[in-house]
Amino acid sequence: MQTIELKDWASFEKRLQEIQQVEVSAGRTADFLFRGITDSSFPLATTLERRGREGVRICDYYRLIFNLKPQIESFTGMAWEIAKWPEVEEALQKYDTWSLHQFPEEAAYSYMIYLRHHGFPSPLLDWTRSPYIAAFFAFRSISQPREGKVSICVFSETSERFKLTSSGKPWIRRIGPYVKTHRRHFLQQSDYTMCADFKKVGGHCSEWHFARHEDVTLRDDMHQDVLWKFNIPWAERVKVLKTLDSYNLNEFSLFESLESLMETLAVREMGFGASG
């Protein structure tokens, strides 16, 4: 992970454009993912990691959400026809299940995204394909960060064929945007990654476990993905949010709830005229 300190928002736009041009000139597609972080001191972590559950067997997490499914379906009136837990447990004892994108299958992925958008601890790290949506999430908090900076992370995935040579170490996999799921997935131009490791624990057979994204991003490994972390002064907050709102990119356009409408109106009427 390369950390880049910037003096203002304009510097971020300029540096991002330079990186995109370099990728295109090298014959690579600048198909980046972006993630906004409200405090530059915060790690790149999933909500499951924040609950202290990194390293859990993927099949154990799947069993948990499989058992919760009847309650969630009863309350929401929705239904997800996902594979039964014993089938998934057996599949995740095979290396190819993860490496060849056989997990999660489409229905399970849709279900996991729905849970993630409603606050259930998730192994999905959510990204957006828009740097401006990422900027909104970076600057949305009114609380000044510890070091006075927010971050926008830019992720570029290495070819899968190189990752396969690095078995035995955690690696990140981009799951993709094409799935039928919660409306916010589309409003926020979302995509997701998961990090996993195929390993043996406690004398058991090797199987897939969730791992921390930072176990990969902090490792200097040419076979892994590329991540830039841009740190931008929080003092740019009002200017950035005002610019984004002029393009109708705000809390309400990204969440479409009554609460998000109230927050958008509050920011427009009380926030833009303040120092932050």
* Per-residue exposure over 83-95, b if at least 16 CB sit within 10 Å of its own CB, e if not: eebeebbebbebe
Please check the confidence at residue 162 and state whether its pLDDT lies above 50: no
> Residues 182, 114: contact at Cβ < 8 Å?
yes
**HSE on the CB side for 165, CA within 13 Å?**
8
Instruction: State the DSSP code for 15.
Output: H
Residue range 61-92, pLDDT digits in tens:
999 999 999 999 999 999 999 999 999 999 99
Average the pLDDT over 257-276 and give the result. 83
pLDDT of residue 163: 52
pLDDT of residue 49: 92
Which amino acid is present at 14?
K
Residue range 19-32, pLDDT digits in tens:
888 877 776 666 89
Looking at the chain, the whole-number percentage of residues with pLDDT higher than 70 is 91
pLDDT of residue 161: 44
Q: What is the mean pLDDT of the chain?
A: 89
Could you give the CA distance from residue 139 to residue 173 in angstroms, rounded to a whole number? 27
Residue range 165-195, pLDDT digits in tens:
455 688 899 999 999 998 999 999 999 999 9
Please check the confidence at residue 140 and state whether its pLDDT lies above 70: yes
Average the pLDDT over 104-112 and give the result. 94
pLDDT of residue 77: 95
Q: Which residues contact 270 (CB under 8 A, 6 or more apart)?
A: none
Could you give the CA distance from residue 224 to residue 213 in angstroms, rounded to a whole number? 11
Angle between helices 131-139 and 9-25 (to 10 degrees): 150
The residue to which tokens 């259930």 are assigned: 120
Higher pLDDT, 61 or 158: 61
Q: Which residues contact 52 (CB under 8 A, 6 or more apart)?
A: none
Number of other CB atoms surrounding residue 204 within 10 Å: 10
Handedness of CA 62, 63, 65, 69 (dihedral sign): positive
pLDDT of residue 72: 97
Please check the confidence at residue 101 and state whether its pLDDT lies above 80: yes
Q: Which residues contact 230 (CB under 8 A, 6 or more apart)?
A: 4, 6, 12, 15, 16, 151, 152, 153, 154
Average the pLDDT over 233-241 and give the result. 96
Please check the confidence at residue 260 and state whether its pLDDT lies above 60: yes
Cross-strand bridge partners of residue 50: none
How far are the Cα atoms of 17, 30, 31, 36, 108 from residue 21, in angstroms, in the given order? 6, 8, 12, 22, 37
Please check the confidence at residue 276 and state whether its pLDDT lies above 60: no
pLDDT of residue 273: 58
Q: pTM of the full predicted structure? A: 0.89
